[in-house]
Amino acid sequence: MPRYLSLVRIDEAAAPAEGPSEELMRRMGELIEQMTKAGVMLDTAGLTPTAQGTRVRWEDGKTSVTDGPFTETKEVVGGYALMQCKDMAEAVEWTKRFLKVHEDHWTVTCEVREIAEG
């Protein structure tokens, strides 16, 4: 069965400073439990803010290293979900369910991509 990566993109500037609410975390925990029991969820996690990250770039045969925060970036990867689904449609449906557990004040975009095997 194919695997899919859902990249969770957030607008750090618009996200609540205190992070996700307890209610959001409860709903997300319930959904992750459902996905795990269904054999869909392989791995998932949130990421620390970009202020705690480092970018390593390769360009013109040279590497450069830049410490966060990355002010030129509005939308950043805030987490991921690695899923095993029968097809893209199923991966998208689970991703929609993930988005719907968020409160209305969140702006979250997920990019779902099949993992190229072999």
Mean of pLDDT values over 17-29? 92
Instruction: Render pLDDT for 61-105 as a digit per residue (tens, 0 to 9).
Output: 999 999 988 777 778 899 999 999 999 999 999 999 999 999 998
**What mean pLDDT value characterizes the chain?**
93
pLDDT above 90 (res 32): yes
Question: Residue 69 has what pLDDT?
Answer: 82
Give the chain as a 3 state SS string.
CCEEEEEEEEECCCCCCCCCCHHHHHHHHHHHHHHHHCCCEEEEEECCCHHHCEEEEEECCEEEEEECCCCCCCEEEEEEEEEECCCHHHHHHHHHHHHHCCCCCCCEEEEEEECCCC
The reported pTM is 0.87
